[in-house]
Amino acid sequence: MKIDNQDIIRTARQLRDEENAELHVSPWSRHRHFHVPTWLVAIPAAAIIGFVLGLWTQANTNSDTPLTALVDTVYIKVPTPQPQQDTVAQAMTVTPTPAVTKPSPRQTVRTTSASAPSRKTVGRPVADDHIRYDLLVRN
Amino acid sequence: MLFPLKLSAQTDEQLMLRAARGSDRAFEELYNRHARRLQGFFVRRLGDDADLAADFMHDTFLRLYAAREKYHEGNSFRAWLYTIAYNLCKNHHRNQLSIVRDDEKDIPAEADIEVQLDETILHDALREVLKSLPEPYAMLFSLHYEEELTIPQIAQITDLPEGTVKSRLHKTMNIIKRQLKQYENR
């Protein structure tokens, strides 16, 4: 068909109405709209997400480390024969028992090389200087 | 002067007069009437940037609201509204609207171009042609044919003589027809 000015005007108005109908129009507000730029939100958000992800992955790495790496000393319990049980009466009275008993090698506690070897005594605690520190009374 | 109570029954000018006297409801009614159409105008004039068009539309109404007390009885509301809108577009395009391109100056004003097109093709072709229409012809076409403002109103808005507006509108039709002719054999 032959196109004249009226055809063009009519079609232009039809296009206008189609485009206007698709618009989202916000309600009237006396205050100026404030639009935060996208980059102003995206950059801090990316930084925070990266930080949180970093913490999370670091936490996962730590959980994989062996337990022995977290402690200085490993204590190993050596099975020993059950010592004779002192009765309550024996415990209450001081008997002239030898102040120092030589512990058997099997009754020692093995420690790491970092700490000095110490002896574990069976019976009443007696120091190396033969003083019964447990009987001393504090004034 | 007495106003009818129902806002929707009032003319734009009556509402603007009420808004000038402090009625926010009257101004809101004007916004509801014209916001969508004005936003569409900005979408077409700002290159399909919907967010920018929404901002410009809101900005236009904010300026109108700020200057509402300066409204004089008898002035056309739409002419005032589109004067603000036109100036916003003009500032955005940095005075491009007033510049007639050299390659458009030789368009004959009296050319009679015959175009034969199917109606469905015309719809899609015109959409493309209007998008590629150079300024200031696109602005004048939009104000006159799409926003349905009169030639005296457009002359007042654009600060051009009425004769210039008429001749440019005539040239605009010829540019459109010349571009539509390229769609004849598709």
Q: Over the stretch B36-66, which tens digit does the pLDDT of each residue have?
A: 999 999 999 998 788 899 999 999 999 999 9
Give the pLDDT score at B164. Answer: 93
CA A12 to chain B, closest CA, distance in angstroms equals: 7
Close Cβ partners of B52 (under 8 Å, ≥ 6 residues apart)? B42, B46
Q: Which residue of A has its CA nearest to B174?
A: A5
Candidates B145, B169, B171, B177, partner chain A, best to mutate (most A CBs within 10 A): B145
B8/B141 Cα distance (integer angstroms): 29
Q: Do B146 and A3 touch (CB under 8 A)?
A: no
* pLDDT tens digits along A28-43: 887 766 667 788 889 9
Q: Do A13 and B145 touch (CB under 8 A)?
A: yes
C-alpha to C-alpha distances, B73 to A7, B25, B69, B76, nearest whole angstrom: 37, 19, 11, 9
C-alpha to C-alpha distances, B123 to A10, B160, B186, nearest whole angstrom: 10, 31, 14
Q: Do A25 and B54 touch (CB under 8 A)?
A: yes
Candidates A8, A22, A30, partner chain B, best to mutate (most B CBs within 10 A): A8
User: What's the rounded mean pLDDT across residues A106-115?
Assistant: 50
Q: Given pLDDT bands bounded at 50, 70 and 90, which one contains residue B172? A: very high
Please determine, for residue B21, whether its predicted confidence score (pLDDT) is greater than 70: yes
B83/B91 Cα distance (integer angstroms): 12
Percent of chain A surpassing pLDDT 70: 52
CA A9 to chain B, closest CA, distance in angstroms equals: 6
C-alpha to C-alpha distances, A111 to A94, A114, A116, A118, nearest whole angstrom: 33, 8, 8, 8
CA A44 to chain B, closest CA, distance in angstroms equals: 23
Please determine, for residue A96, whether its predicted confidence score (pLDDT) is greater than 60: no
The ipTM of this complex is 0.85
List, as one string, the DSSP characters of B68-126: GGG--TTS-HHHHHHHHHHHHHHHHTTTGGGPPPHHHHT--TT----EE--HHHHHHHH
Q: What residue ranges in chain A does DSSP mark as E strands?
A: 2-3
Displacement of CA B124 from its chain's centroid (Å) = 21
B36/A49 Cα distance (integer angstroms): 39
User: What's the rounded mean pLDDT across residues A83-87?
Assistant: 62
Residues of A in contact with B177 (CB under 8 A): 3, 8
State whether the Cα torsion A8-A11-A15-A16 is positive or negative: positive
